[in-house]
């Protein structure tokens, strides 16, 4: 469990406005989830319920989509998002060890957020930077030719 999420009236109003627009087009669910993720920073059950009612989709389906795609999350993400690529090129060059190092150092399981809401550690698929494998990202910054030592060094810089 990380930071708590606030579902304010203002944010809900935004979500309703987005759904009104999306309902005019075919396939309103995905664009609505994208916006919901942006508005709330995640798509928790309370938000899924609102979407379910408004778009007439079952919660089971919505929850399935949210948990399947990496760009959505049920819990709020941390202030810093660390993603380690586990695509083939990175994996064969030891990215699993880097992911484990982040997870150990921060005491956060992969896919979860630290208690203080500072860090989310996740694994991603290929991010298209295979030439730099192994690769990890911290927020918008990409670190290539990475190693466990480099991961620790970067982490020290942020902490």
According to the binding rule CB under 6 A, does residue 133 interact with ligand FES?
Answer: yes
According to the binding rule CB under 6 A, does residue 142 interact with ligand FES?
Answer: no
Beta-bridge partners for 120: 81, 113
Please identify, among the stretches 1-9, 63-71, 99-107, 122-130, the one whose residues bind ligand FES according to the rule CB under 6 A. 122-130
Q: In what order do the strands lie in the sheet with 112-113?
A: 112-113, 119-124, 80-85, 136-138, 141-143
- Assess contact for 132 and 142: CB atoms under 8 A: yes
Please identify, among the stretches 1-9, 35-43, 51-59, 126-134, the one whose residues bind ligand FES according to the rule CB under 6 A. 126-134
According to the binding rule CB under 6 A, does residue 33 interact with ligand FES?
Answer: no
Token code pair at residue 67: 């948990």
Q: How far is the CB of 123 from ligand FES (least distance, A)?
A: 11
Q: Which residues between 64 and 93 bind ligand FES (CB under 6 A)?
A: 85, 87-90
How far, in Å, CA of 8 to CA of 30, rounded? 22
């Amino acid at each position: 469990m990380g930071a708590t999420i606030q579902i304010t009236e203002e944010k809900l109003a935004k979500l309703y406005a987005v759904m009104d627009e999306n309902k005019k087009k075919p396939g309103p669910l995905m664009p609505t989830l994208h916006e919901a993720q942006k508005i709330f920073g995640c798509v928790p059950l309370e938000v899924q319920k609102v979407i379910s009612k408004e778009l007439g989709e079952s919660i089971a389906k919505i929850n399935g989509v949210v948990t399947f795609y990496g760009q959505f999350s049920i819990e709020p993400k941390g202030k810093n998002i660390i993603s380690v690529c586990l695509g083939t090129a990175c994996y064969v060059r030891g990215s699993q060890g880097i992911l484990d190092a982040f997870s150990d150092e921060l005491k956060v399981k992969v896919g979860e957020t630290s208690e203080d809401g500072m860090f989310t550690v996740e694994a991603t698929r290929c991010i298209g930077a295979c030439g730099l494998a192994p690769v990890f990202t911290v927020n918008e910054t990409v670190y290539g030719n990475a190693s466990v030592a480099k991961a620790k060094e970067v982490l020290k810089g942020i902490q």
